């Protein structure tokens, strides 16, 4: 594949046909943009939960980032203590310790796909497509473990049954109402997913004719 000297730049395929150069620039740009959006997401909250009760009129809130937690951690941990539950920081500690590196690696894989002109680009993109769903699955598992770690011998352990807070929407935990919602970091991860799918589609549109042209040329020569 080489570039012709025409005014409207085109790509000359192995069988002599030509394709517009733009067709080969679009998938790379989309994959690079997806990598950038994904890396930006790791600095923003992915999920939040607000707990409401009469004694807390302003509510208690925790924001979940991929590598740390923010919010009314102290107050929530004090409540958890009376239920014999671990502190919030103990859940997902391993995941948070490797998440930043993992997202950077995902971004690099996407960038690597820009320079691959066959279906292997899709294989490199698979982890990015799975990332937001992996985050939600892991978050659900952490919430489940927390809600089922109540110590019945603790001060208030006998007053509340095991629970799993909902990932999204409203719920109840004892006398507390909960509101859980996705935050901008998770939305950006899904935007990256969409950009990746779009980039892979344009990648196929651009490079499948190149592969087909090469096969036709090899068939003719043989």
Q: Domain ranges in the chain?
A: 2-214
pLDDT at 6: 45
User: What is the pTM for the complete model shown?
Assistant: 0.83
Of 103, 114, 122, the C-alpha closest to 33 is 114
> 172-198 pLDDT, tens per residue?
877 788 899 999 999 999 999 999 999
CA 127, CA 106: separation in Å to the nearest integer?
A: 7
> 147-169 pLDDT, tens per residue?
887 776 666 656 677 778 889 99
Q: Ramachandran region of residue 47, left (φ > 0), alpha (ψ -120 to 50) or beta? A: beta
For tokens 């959006």, name the residue. Answer: 37
Mean pLDDT calculated for residue range 124-148: 92
């Amino acid at each position: 594949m080489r570039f012709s000297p025409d005014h409207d730049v085109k790509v000359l395929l192995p069988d002599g046909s030509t394709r517009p150069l733009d067709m080969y620039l679009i998938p790379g740009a989309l994959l690079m943009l997806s990598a950038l959006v994904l890396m930006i997401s790791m600095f923003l909250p992915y999920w939040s939960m607000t707990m409401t009760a009469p004694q807390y009129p302003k509510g208690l809130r925790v924001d979940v980032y991929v590598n740390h937690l923010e919010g009314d951690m102290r107050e929530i941990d004090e409540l958890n203590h009376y239920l014999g539950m671990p502190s919030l920081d103990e859940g997902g500690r391993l995941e948070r310790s490797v998440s930043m590196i993992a997202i950077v690696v995902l971004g690099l894989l996407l960038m690597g796909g820009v320079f691959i002109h066959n279906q292997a680009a899709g294989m490199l993109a698979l982890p990015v497509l799975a990332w937001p769903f992996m985050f939600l699955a892991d978050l659900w598992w952490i919430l489940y473990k927390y809600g089922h770690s109540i110590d019945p011998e603790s001060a208030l352990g006998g007053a509340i049954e095991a629970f799993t807070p909902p990932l999204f929407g409203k719920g109840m935990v004892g006398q507390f109402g909960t509101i859980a919602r996705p935050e901008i970091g998770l939305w950006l991860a899904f935007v990256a997913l969409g950009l990746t799918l779009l980039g892979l589609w344009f990648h196929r549109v651009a490079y499948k004719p190149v592969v087909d042209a090469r096969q036709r040329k090899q068939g003719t020569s043989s």
